[in-house]
Chains A and B, each alone.
Chain A
């Protein structure tokens, strides 16, 4: 008796097509979500108030540590409290609508909920204190902040590391915008590792193993907590 396998093949074919379409659909859906929705991978997110580092750090030459006071003495650089803004903006540019937004937060005794741009994973321990005290300029990792209207992640090196230290040894704005880190979508370990591989901290500010093995700075446990 002749039994045709055509019907079986046909349903198999349909089933296979359905699976393929579904899988392609997953990829498309993933991609759409990636493009369309906000995520930390989006490099320069919208902030609650359109604070421009270009105006403050660039045009007005305010040093980074005037606002980010903890950078020299804490692992976290600190975000300025609202009263820091009001310290100047009680007098300066008070008619601007942006400043009025700040004043509103101050009057309502509410903190400004800044969106975190440089968001390291929770398992990473990064200490601003050691890097700032080693004389590394902020722009080395954060990019040319004084040119940014909106902060964006800069986490890729051009050609290898360019360690920027200001000439006076104090941490000021970099005079040049040709800095180490370039814009990227997301924070990369390579940025950290490039420097750590090639530089030993000198001037008695670090402890090193002299012969063989890895430096302190290259041990995974230096940064991964």
Chain B
């Protein structure tokens, strides 16, 4: 098939949710809200792994912090019958992503691994994708960022350092997925094994609340997790077909 034919084929399929007939891998994540303790280790791990900037207090005041993974807090009830529910929220890698439809330069699109990509050097910073995203998980670099030396020696060489003017968001640690595929090829294997690729957040979670893997593989841990009756998607009524699935928190009676 010539390249042109492949493009038109792609356009025809774009009209399907997820617009791939087959996903090569179909990465998904489940987060068990019953196990999440809200400790924030995932947030710091993501920051360390993905060169997230230290934005400074002023940026937080303006709501311009860049946290690819954030913890949302929802209080329920009144004292003394009060509960705090915490939910980690990152890019849901929606198969029917609203953000992908609006980018005028196609800097964000759905790739064959089921990931919502973000190509920094193509992005022109219209920020429409952030407006379209119902989960508000897209972050814009309002400033160039600096790391007081020698903090910059910690930066991960496998991840771009983003400049002012581009959007960024959780990538499911694409650099780790890429590395795992590389390792698989080294071993002469065609496929990445279940559990071999762990985004930074999943790897560090002290309460084992996150599971990541390929939902194309019915035997993978994440596939099992996805079949849990407690599974639900946030804002599912918007039909975004998110790849991040949460497991309901259990309210037990003592």
Contact = CB atoms under 8 A, between A and B. Distances in A.
B174 A206 contact: no
A44 to B, nearest CB: 26
Interface of A: 121-123, 125, 127, 129-130, 133, 197, 204-214, 216, 219-222, 224-225
Given A204-B188, A208-B24, 6 more contacts: A123-B160, A206-B185, A209-B24, A213-B21, A220-B109, A224-B160
Nearest to B117: A221
A191 B2 CA distance: 18
B21 A207 contact: no
Given A123-B160, A212-B10, A214-B10, A204 B112 contact: no
A206 B178 CA distance: 12
B143 interface: no
Contacts of B112: 209, 213-214, 216, 219
Interface in B39-89: none
Interface residues of B, number: 34
A224 B121 contact: yes
B185 A221 contact: no
A133 to B, nearest CB: 8
B24 A207 contact: yes
A220 B20 contact: no
A205 B185 contact: yes
A123 B191 contact: no
Main SS of the interface on chain A?
loop
Contacts of B175: 125, 225
Interface string B172-188: 00110010011011001
A221 B118 CA distance: 8
17 contacts: A123-B121, A127-B182, A129-B182, A205-B188, A207-B24, A207-B181, A207-B191, A209-B24, A212-B22, A214-B10, A214-B112, A216-B112, A219-B112, A219-B117, A221-B111, A221-B117, A225-B158
Contacts of A220: 109, 111, 117, 119, 122
B8 to A, nearest CB: 11
Contacts of A213: 6, 9-10, 13, 20-22, 112
Contact of A211 (B22, B185, B190): B22
Contact of B160 (A127, A212, A225): A225
B158 A125 contact: yes
A70 to B, nearest CB: 14
B13 A222 contact: no
A221 B115 contact: yes
A214 B158 contact: no
Contact of B119 (A205, A207, A221): A221
B120 interface: yes
B190 A207 contact: yes
B21 A211 contact: yes
B159 interface: yes
B172 to A, nearest CB: 10
B123 to A, nearest CB: 11
A130 B185 CA distance: 9
Contacts of B190: 204, 207
A84 to B, nearest CB: 23
Contacts of B111: 214, 219-221
Interface string B202-220: 0000000000000000000
Interface string B98-133: 000000000001011101010111100000000000
Q: Which of A127, A129, A209 has the most CB of B within 10 A?
A: A209
Contacts of B160: 122-123, 224-225
| List of 8 A-B pairs having minimum Cβ-Cβ separation, nearest first | A123-B160, A219-B111, A209-B24, A220-B119, A213-B112, A221-B117, A224-B119, A123-B121
Contacts of B20: 212-213
B235 interface: no
B121 A216 contact: no
A107 B7 CA distance: 58
A219 to B, nearest CB: 5
